[in-house]
């Protein structure tokens, strides 16, 4: 707990199994925030994320980053993060995805 709070993180004990006890607060200078409008796509959503500040925990951070959310089945969600200005290799894995609407899914997505 002391190490967590010394980093400026929030310490929270919970009864939820596997829930993190140490996490960055919402106003943390680390991480990313929504950088514009959420764009609805045929299969879900696309949003742009921007780094919050120049602070970096791991180095070589990319900004902006695009997050694509795809409602694949009633019980399966796919999300993909990528650098919109630089292509990279992606494993050519074909997954059948009939696509469902957010209303049909058994999960919720919030931004």
Domain residue limits, the chain:
1-28, 31-87+97-110
End-to-end alpha carbon distance in the chain: 28
Q: Is the peptide bond before 29 cis (omega within 30 degrees of 0)?
A: no
The rounded percent of the chain whose pLDDT value lies above 90 is 34
The CA distance from 102 to 94, in Å, is: 22
Measure the CA angle with vertex 47, ends 8 and 103; round to 5°: 105
pLDDT at 29 over 90: no
Q: How far is CA 56 from CA 63, 86, 107, in A?
A: 12, 20, 32
Band of pLDDT at residue 24, cut at 50, 70 and 90: confident
Q: For the segment 46-74, what is each residue's pLDDT rounded down to a tens digit?
A: 999 999 887 777 778 889 999 999 999 99
Query: What's the pTM?
Result: 0.76
């Amino acid at each position: 707990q002391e190490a967590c709070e010394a980093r400026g993180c929030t310490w929270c004990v919970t009864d939820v199994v596997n829930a993190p006890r140490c996490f960055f607060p919402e106003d943390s200078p680390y991480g990313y925030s929504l950088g514009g409008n959420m764009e609805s796509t045929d299969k879900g959503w696309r949003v742009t994320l921007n780094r919050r500040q120049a602070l970096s925990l791991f180095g070589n951070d990319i900004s902006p980053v695009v997050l694509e959310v795809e409602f694949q089945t009633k019980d399966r969600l796919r999300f993909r993060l990528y650098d919109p200005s630089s292509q990279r290799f992606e494993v050519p894995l074909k997954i059948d995805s009939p696509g469902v609407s957010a209303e049909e899914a058994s999960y919720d997505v919030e931004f």
